[in-house]
Amino acid sequence: MSCFLTNSSVGKKLVMSITGCFLVLFLLFHMSMNMAMLFSYEAYDAICAFLGANWYALVATVILAAGVVIHFIYAFILTINNYRARGKQRYAVTVQEKGVSWASKNMLVLGVIVILGLGLHLVHFWSKMQLVEIMGHHASMVGDLEVGATSGAALMMITFSKWYNVVLYLVWFAALWFHLTHGVWSMFQTVGWANDIWYPRLKCLANIIATLIFLGFAAVAVYCFCVTSPELIQTLI
């Protein structure tokens, strides 16, 4: 079984599908969690406290990190193998779109942008929250402000009070949208669901999921930029 998953093209795509499905579910959860900011800062902080350095959150973090690493490694291997086997036709599918989508031809590039965005997110948020708790502290310095490790609302406001952070994150979210519009459909295609009947339905589902994730994350970033003020940040710290 392990040889099938590591040596065969079908096995590698299956691993990509499984890890991709897990990551999509996490994105939906994370987006839903972030949207609590739009309704209650206290509720969002409570969620951050619940998902701090508790054992279940740490286990989930390790599993998530492993999923990201495995997904990216297998994506890189498959892209290189497909390029060598078929030249510029990187993604062979059983059902072709009318014209090959831009996303399907640039999945690795989009994946790199997604990984870079993830790194930025880890610096801005994870290193100021869960990592701080893991190190046994209760707060960290963000600029000249001391922000509690569970003060997610304040950290969100501080981060997105800077226009360039909003722009960088919107670029990241856009790359996620393109990546997911092809990736979610490919996930189903790998297990044989993308026939002539199901292809348009799955493509529509992929677009809906990608758009929900993009709009959910983008709405929070833009909202924070629009409403933040020094006085509001002080009340949230």
In tens, the pLDDT along 55-70 reads: 888 999 999 999 989 9
Q: Residue 203: what pLDDT? A: 82
Q: Residue 11: what pLDDT? A: 73
Give Cα 93 to chain centroid, integer Å. Answer: 24
Q: Residue 194: what pLDDT? A: 59
Q: Residue 65: what pLDDT? A: 92
Residue spans per domain, the chain: 2-236
Phi/psi at 141 (nearest 5 deg)?
A: -90, 125
Residue 6 has pLDDT above 70, yes or no: no
Q: Residue 85: what pLDDT? A: 67
Q: Which residues, in sequence order, are bridge partners of residue 146?
A: 141
In this structure, CATH architecture of domain 2-236: Up-down Bundle (1.20)
Whole-prediction pTM value? 0.85
Q: Residue 14: what pLDDT? A: 83
Q: Residue 93: what pLDDT? A: 46
